[in-house]
Amino acid sequence: MINIKINNIETEVPEDSTILEAARGLGIHIPTLCHLDLHDIKMVNKVGTCRVCMVEVEGRRNLLPACSTSVVPNMIVQTNTPKAVRARRTIVELLLSNHPRDCLSCERNLNCELQSLAHEMGIREIHYKGPRLHSEKDTSSYSIIRNSEKCVLCRRCETMCNEVQTVGVYSAIHRGFETVIGTAFDTPMLDTACTFCGQCVSVCPTAALTETDDTRNVWEAIQDPNKFVIAQTAPAVRVALGEAFGMPVGTRVTGKMVAALRRMGFDKVMDTDFAADLTIMEEASELIHRIQHGGKLPMLTSCCPAWVKFIEHQFPELLDIPSSCKSPHEMFGALAKTYLAEKLGVAPEKIVVVSIMPCLAKKFEARREELSSGGAISDVDYVVSTRELGRMIREAGISFNMLPDEDFDDLMGESTGASVIFGTTGGVIEAAIRTAAAWLDKDNPAPTIDFTQLRGSEGIREAVVEVAGLKLNIAIANGLGNARKLLTDIRDGKANYHAIEIMACPMGCVGGGGQPYHGNNIEVLKQRAVSIYAEDKDKPIRRSHENPQIQKIYADYLGEPYGEKAHELLHTHYHVRNII
Amino acid sequence: MKLSSWEALKQYREDTKDEVSLLNPESTKIILAVGEATCGIAAGSKKIAAVLQEESKKMGLDNVEIIPTGCYGCCYAEPMVEVRIPGQAPVHYGYVNEEAAKKIIAEHIVKGIIVDKNVLRVEVTST
Amino acid sequence: MSVSQVRIALRNCGVINPENIKDYIARGGYDAMAKCLFAMSQDEVIDIIKKSGLRGRGGAGFPTGIKWETARRAQSDVKYVLCNADEGDPGAFMDRSVLEGDPHAVLEAMAICGYAIGAREGVIYVRAEYPLAVKRLQIAIEQATELGLFGENILGSGFSFTMRLYFGAGAFVCGEETSLMNSVQGGRGEPRLKPPFPANVGLWNKPTNINNVETYANVPTIIRNGADWYRGFGTEKSPGTKVFAVVGKVNKVGLVEVPMGTTLRDIIEGIAGGIPNGKRFKAAQTGGPSGGCIPAEHLDTPIDYESLIALGSMMGSGGMIVMDEDDCMVGIAKFYLTFTAEESCGKCTPCRVGNMRLLETLTRITDGHGVEEDLTSLENLGATIKDTALCGLGQSSPNPILSTLHYFKDEYLAHVREHRCPAGTCQKLVRYRITDKCVGCTVCARNCPVSCISGDRKQKHSIDQSRCIKCGVCFSKCRFGAIVKG
């Protein structure tokens, strides 16, 4: 511990503290912009680029950035001297002088860190005037839009992409005033190794990185009398959507969400959770098949499209280990345009499947050619993120908080607790083990449901699960940097697992790139995960294979799990992709 | 050849003393040091070196060696040539064009008459 | 006036054949290294450098011995010796000349440093735009390695040191030491936060000593002659000599090496032969884009690190650009800002956006659209950029503006109040007038590309200001000095 003095208050702080941390401990607020420290997921952006948090330190000629200056014994800091305040205001004015300032029509209006900063500092006039940087938007990808004109060069996206996710798409390019964060050789995002996980969007303080907006397309489909529009909602959406309407973090809004979608005009409101149960039927069968028939191990889950794209680019030599299962919403789409079309008597080409997802990578995934029947009819037509759904509900004039709880529509609306936990890290593998355990351990009247050893928030977790005398080595990774570690071990023959679950986003889908902004607070994700497990607990049925609608669809339509029909509709293959 | 000790380095210095281009009173070799740093080359010193070579050949001088040196600091006076004749004080010439180069050979080297017009006086305390 | 130069860093430049190691050895070359390896402990080497008072010749003047000592004390199995040869100041060529004229001096010094701090590898970061320096360095490394002066077990001492070159691609900011290290590592040339300093966390995050070319070039001579000898030159706080590249409006453009404490007047009027064409000295710009302009009233200040900073400029790497009455100081400030705004790496806000705003304000002023408030704005923004920028480039980039504003405020005021450029160089403000000296020869009228000069033969001519494009052809064609600008 060392003693320092901030604004004449003496304090004792740990040696590795920054001035910013020490000040916060004293309740002294120092404005920041580029700084971001998400301890739990090891995302630390301590680059000192914005120069907003400048403070005066006795004995130093220049001002120092509080976010990235470590304390030293007997340091005397003043955070609000006229010089520091003037410098801070000047910096923010400079940033604003090079910003479009179209706040009223900006995606991040009222939810923008630059806007908040200007507000907090009471900026009323921008003294430094001059031309702004002009840059073309990159709208090439189906997931993420880059608008460099709104970029403040905080470098959070770069840190997230390069250091946390280890994808390395972004870096600063060009010089001086022309400097922007871009891709190598200014390659359009679509042609890069970007996985579209959207974590860069999650940490972007402004609207420089946003999701591709699909809401117009969805409204048009809903308003088209010739279309039959079906909504399906991912597990993690129901524990986060409430935040968009000011509800406490973790509020479960499943019933209100269904009611809202119905009021928006969707013809059917169904559940991706149903398809998650279906995924377990297929994936658990595939796992047992691989174990019993000497197939390739470990088997990797394939629900996460960002993760799938990651392995296609980064480990093309390992493409035979992921499960061949489509992701749940794609399974849903495939069945909606076959099974449902038949049951409801609607022509498949009239059906529009809209996936409500916590995810931006799903937008890209929906455009994959192999995820369609015969390349003609896409399994899924549109993907909107949790954030976009929040905007659509507002736009429709629906008072979300006052809505009654409603139930999903039949046929593909029923789900189990196993499918709910797909929304958080470890959930997919736990759901698979629940079913596999029940199947393998046929004589056990009460096989285990809660495999708590598979839960948690650490980036990489390992557990041994004993099922019917079989010891299964399980590994779980969330975050692509952690996935890379596991995959490297597998490639180098150092790992000995049966099954591995990988989710691209920190803490899984609750931390998805399409979720309401967590406001730089990782506790938000943890709270959502708590709600996921609570939703699981409250479900009357908690194993996928016990879902009556699942049993019905196999009996009526699909036949055997992992069978021929299932293969045709529910499984896929992967492509080798390059890194430019 | 690798030198294997400090002594070997000193010995090497002694052994190669006749091969160096510095002014050496015991040698009969005349050195013409042409400024061939970027400033000199830009001012045309390569050409001047060639002229010096050619002229000394013409005059049948076989004890003249033309070597490149770096920048003597007088970039304004490039191309520069320093004449090192054993037993005499070295002379710096500046603004050396082809005509001056020919004169340096014909007058200074052959006849021992310094080409006054091109002499450059630079006060330098060397260390 | 006669002022003698003292050549320590340049002692072999223009003397030896830089492509022949025998010349260098004949001048005592590699004896300093051998002396260190066989007769001195690591601490003794550092001690002599500390005692000599040698300070970094790259600009900031940090004591070299203390730098070496910090790197020596850093615990690590791998350390590096880096040489900053990324000379980028406009008008400066000291380092290039040393590398072209005496490459071994730098190499020998780096090996000495490697021995002192416990490093086995040296890296020279040299501009790719210096092909001759690169070639001579390559030859030097090759020849020295062949003689066993680099490589394994040098001269049988047990000490091993290898040397390699790394080429810079022309970014000015890579002269900043941490950007340089990022560049060597294959990354973008962007500064790192300091602390940690390179002596602890440097190249590849290993302890690294980095000095510039001229600093190293002093080292072998200091080792050979001792600290006291070195302290015999220069001043108490800035011992030794400094090399300047004196360019601009002087009769003798070139390199000079003088003891610290020599006055600007001695350099400019003495060694460099004064201002050509009988013009009046106006200012000397030192320190490149980080420095400032020093006016005539301070010509007699003895130059060292501290005195130049007190004058609002800095030593920098040794560029000295001399300006006369025809140079517009607002234009000079704009020239430097154009340079830094372009060369900013864009990492921090004040340098990326602030310098651009400064440049725009200056451009307004030189275009005749400036107002008096612009001068306050320049001062305030300049001060904030200095206080807040991340690296040395940004922290010093407003200096050319602030120093000219300080010493030449009248010129700025003429630009903003009267929209007039007293030196007559701001093209948009310049006005050509024909005076009574005109004899009506018609040369100007016949040469004017826009035919805006009229007048009868043998009668005084006049210029139609509304059509004049200020090309200056009339001014240069007039044989009677009848056309004036201003």
CATH class held by domain C21-231: alpha beta
Q: Catalytic residue at A414?
A: no
When CB atoms are compared, the residue of A47, A171, A176 closest to C352 is A176
Residues in chain B: 127
Query: Cα A327 to the chain's mean position, in Å?
Result: 15
Which 194-233 residues of chain C touch chain B by CB within 8 A?
221, 225
**pLDDT, tens digit, for every residue of A171-186?**
999 999 999 999 999 9
> What CATH fold (topology level) applies to the domain C432-485?
Alpha-Beta Plaits (3.30.70)
Residue A325 to residues A301, A302, A332, A572, C154, Cα–Cα distance (Å): 8, 6, 12, 6, 64
Q: Does any domain span residue A451?
A: yes
Q: How far apart are CA B15 and CA A501, in angstroms?
A: 74
Question: Is C66 in CB contact (< 8 Å) with chain B?
Answer: no
C208-212 vs C80-85, strand pairing mode: parallel
Please give the residue range of the domain that contains residue A148.
133-212
The predicted model gives A316-334 an average pLDDT of 95
Residue B32 forms beta bridges with which residues? B66, B83
For C61-82, give one letter per residue: b (16+ CB within 10 A) or e.
beebbebbbbbbebebeebbbb
Whole-angstrom Cα distance, residue A109 to residue A122? 17
Chain A residues with CB inside 8 Å of C365's CB?
none
Looking at residue C64, its pLDDT comes to 97
Q: Considering CB atoms only, which of B9, B19, B72 is closest to C14?
A: B72
To the nearest 5 percent, what fractions of chain A are helix, strand and coil?
40, 15, 45
Contact B127 C101 (CB under 8 A): no
Q: What pLDDT score was predicted for residue A375?
A: 66
Closest CA to A303 of A362, A371, A233: A362
Alpha-carbon Rg for chain B in angstroms: 16
Three-class DSSP labels, C72-92: HHCCCCCCEEEEEECCCCCCC
pLDDT for C349 equals 97
Q: Which residues of C226-258 are buried (b: 16+ CB within 10 A; e: fewer)?
A: ebeebbebbbeebbbbbbbbbbbbbebbbbbbb
Please, are residues B71 and C97 in contact by the beta-carbon 8 Å criterion?
yes
User: What is the C-alpha to C-alpha distance for residues A375 and C216, in angstroms, rounded to an integer?
Assistant: 68
With CA atoms as reference, report the closest residue to A359 among A245, A214, A138, A509: A509
Residues 6+ apart with CB under 8 A from A120: A31
Lowest mean pLDDT of B39-48, B49-58, C462-471, name the range: C462-471
Whole-structure pTM over 0.90, yes or no? yes
Positive/negative CA dihedral, B51, B53, B55, B58: negative
The pLDDT value recorded for residue A39 is: 86
Q: Please indicate, yes or no, whether residues A311 and A340 belong to a single structural domain of this protein.
A: yes
Alpha helices in A368-504 (DSSP H): 386-395, 417-420, 427-440, 480-491
Task: Identify the pLDDT of residue C2.
Answer: 59
Asked which of A212, A245, A270 is the last residue of a domain, the reply is: A212
CATH assignment at residue A342: 3.40.50.1780
ipTM of the complex: 0.96
Q: Which two tokens stand for residue C463?
A: 């210029």
Residues A246, A189 share a domain: no
Q: Answer yes or no: is A117 within a domain.
A: no
Q: Which CATH class is domain C329-417?
A: mainly alpha
- To the query of whether residue A458 is one of the catalytic residues in this protein, the response is no
Tell me, yes or no, if A370 is annotated catalytic.
Answer: yes
CATH superfamily membership of B21-118: Glutaredoxin (3.40.30.10)
Residues of chain C with pLDDT under 70: 1-2
Top residue of B71, B74, B78 to mutate, by most chain C CBs within 10 Å, is B71
Is A286 a catalytic site residue?
A: yes
Same domain, A88 and A142: no
Mean pLDDT (chain A) is 95
Q: What is the CA radius of gyration of chain C?
A: 25
Q: Could you identify the residue written with the tokens 């049948």? A: B60
pLDDT at C339: 96
pLDDT at A63 over 80: yes
Cβ pairs B/C, distance under 8 A: 148
Q: Is C190 in Cβ contact with A176 (below 8 Å)?
A: no
Q: Is the peptide bond prior to B90 cis by the omega test (within 30 degrees of 0)?
A: no
Residues A149 and A197 placed together within one structural domain of the fold: yes
In this structure, the answer to whether residues A317 and A453 fall within a common structural domain is yes
- Look at residue C1 in the predicted model and tell me its pLDDT: 47
**CATH number assigned to the domain comprising residue A75:** 3.10.20.740
CB burial class (10 A; 0-12, 13-18, 19+) of residue C291?
A: buried
Domain ranges of chain B: 21-118
- Long-range contacts, stretch A252-257, CB < 8 angstroms, 24+ apart: A252/A531, A252/A534, A252/A535, A253/A400, A254/A405, A254/A535, A255/A403, A255/A404, A255/A405, A255/A406, A255/A407, A256/A400, A256/A401, A256/A403, A256/A404, A256/A405, A257/A233, A257/A389
Q: What per-residue confidence (pLDDT) applies to A141? A: 94
Q: Is residue A114 part of a domain?
A: no
Q: How many CB atoms lie within 10 A of CB C2?
A: 8
CA distance A96 to A118: 8
- pLDDT band of residue A153 (cuts 50, 70, 90) is very high
What total number of domains does chain A contain? 3
Cβ of residue C16 closer than 8 Å to a chain B Cβ: yes
HSE at residue A460, side-chain half, CA atoms within 13 A, is: 9
A10 is catalytic: no
pLDDT higher than threshold 60 for residue A127: yes
Chain C, nearest residue to A172 by Cα:
C188
In the prediction, which pLDDT does C347 show? 97
- Domain match, A72 and A150 both: no
Q: What is the CATH number of domain C241-319?
A: 3.10.20.600
Chains in touch with C (≥3 Cβ pairs < 8 A): A, B
Give SS3 for A37: strand
Q: Lowest-confidence range among A257-266, A371-380, A515-524, C76-85?
A: A371-380
CB C136 within 8 A of CB C99: yes
- Would you place residue A374 in the very low, low, confident or very high pLDDT band (cuts 50, 70, 90)? low
A323 tagged catalytic:
yes
Q: How many helices (H) and strands (E) does chain A have?
A: 19, 21
C338 — phi, psi (to 5°)?
A: -60, -45
Q: Which residues of chain B approach chain C closer than 8 Å at the C-beta?
A: 1-6, 8-10, 12-13, 16-17, 19-22, 33, 35, 37-39, 41, 67-77, 80, 82, 122-127
pLDDT of residue C79: 98
Region for C275 from its dihedrals, namely left if φ exceeds 0, alpha if ψ lies in -120 to 50, beta otherwise: beta
Distances (CA, A) of A218 to A248, A334, A378, C226, C462: 28, 19, 15, 82, 73
Amino acid at C367: D
